[in-house]
Chain A
């Protein structure tokens, strides 16, 4: 009796639970407060005047709605393209790294793939801007997409390669033994097995692209705005209630996407 209570006790430290709860409070309070205040009827961000959907209406039909709608559309298009292209590139790269034998350049290749996350974001932003400038590439939508594809590749690669390492190649071997071509083994066996990893990679790349401010801010042309750059520009004049409504909606998008990826990875483990 004494022994078991002591072995249980050796794991727990006084106060660690309190710190964990404190940690969750720090993490969630700012987001909850902004969500609550986005429903404030008042024009002032300080005074609470009752529940209203006024600022959500303002986001969609108010004076600044055109600007934010365009920015949101840009963000969405950029994120879809960047996530799709980087997921395809990352899937091919993972196959080349994990399913194509060992080769001399393998560590170098891995270094190249992880370069965008090793280099501080602001440094990559400066470097990309300088690159486009020196080759005379006009800054605009295209430069944003190219930059996003680049920094999304490692984020797509990590879950995809982790998944591929977890799949034994016996399935493909069996297909090849039954006279399937390598292309067929890849598209009918490996890719379907890779499904959850590819979806996680895509979602991660999508969120990272949607999230980006610094690199976009450097490589976007004048007049092209994504949601983060538009929000940043607006916040510089002060936090207004419509910004809180936009923030709350974006917050919901993130939470939904993370929840989806959580359940994908969970269902994956049970299989």
Chain B
């Protein structure tokens, strides 16, 4: 997603032109067989009939998508009514991912801005400080967050010790815990693009605004924010997209009531209750949602670049 070959103006030399096919062959083979074909196969599986105890029968069926959207009663012969269970889970996932993105933005934007306005030599240290936790195993970070937030955990102990609260707050197994977990999982994805955008920002624009008696808030909203908007949007997408399909934070911090797409999918492939075509269909719906977000983003970027020229 980041880096790589943005635009067409990047430096490409011709030194190894004759060997091109051989240089690219290993990556093509591995990624075609272990990423592209599997995703296509998943689409196929979503249209197959489920085998009890996991797996599929190679018969075309729309049952998986039907089950997702319609309820046909216990024996499947009632007139179809709208099934809200799975749509609710998807809706909750979108909402939770959105809330986590907002939380990351509210904390990530000031942080990124603050870091980008430090003297040049200390910026690297600040960025380093923000990114270290990201390199710690995600499972360990999530477990640590759960340990901290527990009813008898250190956070509640401290707050009670300080006399701020009388009884422990219930934080684990709440929506907020999941949002905090997602924030903790993906914060650097928000901070880094915004940081890069603010670092490129020309501060004489802010000075000009100040000279023209714009208040600091107006300068922020009308001058700075529009200039760094691509960084902000990029950061939001980089947090929203992985949050949507996340598994660990909702599973460990959310509990059964705060079920998200990731757990729904995982459940279909574990144990005996599994329904592979349904899991594949849910994965396809998730993938489609992600692709829609990415396409809208790519279009707005292209539109913006065109506008700039």
Which A residues have a C-beta under 8 Å from some C-beta of B? 6-7, 10-13, 15-17, 19-20, 22-24, 26-31, 33-34, 37, 45-46, 88-90, 92-93, 95-103, 106-107, 109-110, 112-124, 126-131, 133-134, 146-147, 149-150, 153, 157-158, 161-162, 165, 168-169, 172-173, 176, 182, 185-186, 207, 210-211, 213-214, 217-218, 228, 231-232, 235, 239, 243-244, 247, 250-251, 254-255, 257-258, 262, 266
Contact = CB atoms under 8 A, between A and B. Distances in A.
B20 A158 contact: no
A113 B27 contact: yes
B284 to A, nearest CB: 8
A112 B31 contact: yes
Q: Which of under 10, 10 to 19, 20 to 34, or 35 or more describes the interface residues of B?
A: 35 or more
Contact of A96 (B4, B16, B124): B16
Contacts of B117: 11-12
Contacts of B180: 26
B173 to A, nearest CB: 14
Q: Most A CB atoms within 10 A — which of B10, B18, B28, B248?
A: B28
Interface stretch (B82-90, B227-235, B275-283): B275-283
7 contacts: A7-B207, A26-B107, A123-B286, A128-B34, A169-B11, A186-B16, A247-B143
Interface in B237-261: 241-242, 244-248, 252, 261
Contacts of A162: 3-4
B132 A149 contact: no
A24 B34 contact: no
A30 B141 contact: yes
Q: Determine chain A's interface SS by DSSP, over half rule.
A: helix
B15 A97 contact: no
Given A33-B147, A123-B42, A150-B34, A262 B128 contact: yes
Contact of A211 (B15, B38, B138, B290): B138
B246 to A, nearest CB: 8
| Residue in A22, A98, A266 with the greatest tally of chain B CB atoms within 10 Å | A98
Nearest to B31: A112
Nearest to B266: A122
Most chain B beta-carbon contacts within 10 A, residue among A126, A134, A247, A257: A126
Contact of B3 (A23, A107, A158): A158
Interface in B1-53: 1-5, 10-24, 26-28, 30-39, 41-42, 45
Contact of A254 (B38, B135, B183, B206): B135
A30 to B, nearest CB: 4
Contacts of A133: 55
B144 interface: yes
Given A33-B147, A127-B39, A120 B133 contact: no
Most buried by B among A89, A98, A120, A146: A120
Contacts, number: 303
A13 B113 contact: yes
Most chain A C-beta atoms within 10 Å of own C-beta, residue among B3, B4, B245, B280 = B4
A125 to B, nearest CB: 8
Interface in B81-127: 107-108, 110-111, 113-115, 117, 124, 126
Given A92-B22, A123-B265, A162-B3, 16 more contacts: A11-B117, A13-B220, A15-B110, A23-B107, A29-B148, A89-B26, A96-B16, A99-B15, A114-B4, A117-B1, A122-B247, A123-B245, A131-B34, A172-B13, A182-B16, A258-B132
Contacts of B1: 114, 117-118
B139 A93 contact: no
A112 B130 contact: no
A109 B245 contact: no
Contacts of A17: 114
Contact of B245 (A122, A131, A172): A122
